Structure 1
Amino acid sequence: MTTAARAGLAVVLGWAGLAKIDEPAALQKIAVKGYDVMPDGAASVVGSALPILEIVLAALLVAGFATRVTGALSALLMVVFIVGIAQAWVRGLKIDCGCFGGGGAAANPHYLGEILRDTGFLALAAWIAAFPPGRFAVDRVLGLHED
């Protein structure tokens, strides 16, 4: 089960990171700035670093390396996403989450669906953090996990 959870979450994180990695820095900044929670300089750094973080987490999940730590970091990232979307909704901001590229203003955001989706991803990440890494994990080969 953990192997399937790792694969599923890796696909999502990899897809999200790859969708954003080649976007212009200005667009990445607009997507983060739309949440209205940090100054311009921080939004630029977060916008540029987030796709790299997502791709690295995806690669670690595929490999099954530092699986529980990677699961916990992925869970923390999902909590940040959920809180970010929820605060935008509560504050009446009308933005595209920018989760899979794009971002910025949106006429009719779908906050509830985004929160539910990310809650499902949070559940996968929590499973990965809580349970053994699965059959096909580098952690097993390196002796970082024993049954």
Structure 2
Amino acid sequence: MQGVADSVDNPLSLARGRAGEIVSFISRFGLAAVWLLAGVEKSTQGLIHTAQSVEAYEIFGPDWSLLIAQVIGPLEIAGAALLFLGIFLRYAGWLSTAVLVLFIVGISQAWARGLVIDCGCFGEKATPDGQGMDYLLTILRDVVFIFMSMWTAYRPYRKFALHP
């Protein structure tokens, strides 16, 4: 009986629990904000501009780039809605992780091939010196987002969730 009381009253375990909840909250709602901003940016900047950003990676041809440009913004907004509303949080975390890994693959191959492009996300433009985006910084940012996505998949913040 003593062990149960110790675990409940242990300040260290309470602090870890609270810290985990804070990280869960930041991960869920932070990712939702990221996906919302990215999706709204792509949806409002115009289809042609988004298609050109996709095509600049030189992975897809014009037809596929146009199709991707049509769906990527609304899909990002839908992902944000799932996270904000707390619907299928674990699946949303895994889906977010998969999309971010694909983004990193695309950015990495563009960097390795010496392409000078802007990311196409958050309205980022090429650097003033004409050298394109900062590839390393963009990849590191996405790695942080992957951590947040995986945290959401493993330990979702369930408060205010409609269907966790």
TM-score when normalising by structure 2:
0.79
Q: How does 1:1-147 map to 2 (within 5 A)?
A: 1=21, 2-101=24-123, 107-108=130-131, 109-139=133-163
- Structure 1: where are the runs of 5+ without partners? 141-147
Give the Å deviation of 1:105. Answer: 9.7
| 1:41–1:22 CA distance, 2 compared to 1 (3 A) | same
User: Is the 8 Å Cα contact of residues 68 and 128 (structure 1) preserved in structure 2?
Assistant: yes
Give the Å deviation of 1:34. Answer: 0.4
User: Is the 8 Å Cα contact of residues 95 and 105 (structure 1) preserved in structure 2?
Assistant: no
For the residues of structure 2 that align with 1:125 and 1:100, how far apart are their CA atoms? 18
| C-alpha distance after superposition, 1:91-113 (max 9, x if no partner) | 10010001113668982220000
User: Is the 8 Å Cα contact of residues 28 and 156 (structure 2) preserved in structure 1?
Assistant: no
- Structure 2: where are the runs of 5+ without partners? 1-20
User: Is the 8 Å Cα contact of residues 36 and 77 (structure 2) preserved in structure 1?
Assistant: yes
| Greater length-normalized contact order (CA 8 Å, ≥ 6 residues apart) | 1
For the residues of structure 1 that align with 2:45 and 2:159, how far apart are their CA atoms? 36
- Structure number, greater radius of gyration: 2
Give the Å deviation of 1:19. Answer: 1.1
The residue matched to 2:163 in structure 1 has which SS? helix
RMSD: 1.8
User: Is the 8 Å Cα contact of residues 31 and 104 (structure 1) preserved in structure 2?
Assistant: no
For the residues of structure 2 that align with 1:50 and 1:125, how far apart are their CA atoms? 18
| 1:99–1:39 CA distance, 2 compared to 1 (3 A) | same
Q: Number of aligned pairs?
A: 140
The residue matched to 1:15 in structure 2 has which SS? helix
Q: What's the % identity of the aligned pairs?
A: 38
Q: Which amino acid aligns with 1:101?
A: G
Give the Å deviation of 1:135. Answer: 2.0
TM-score when normalising by structure 1:
0.88
| 1:105–1:117 CA distance, 2 compared to 1 (3 A) | closer
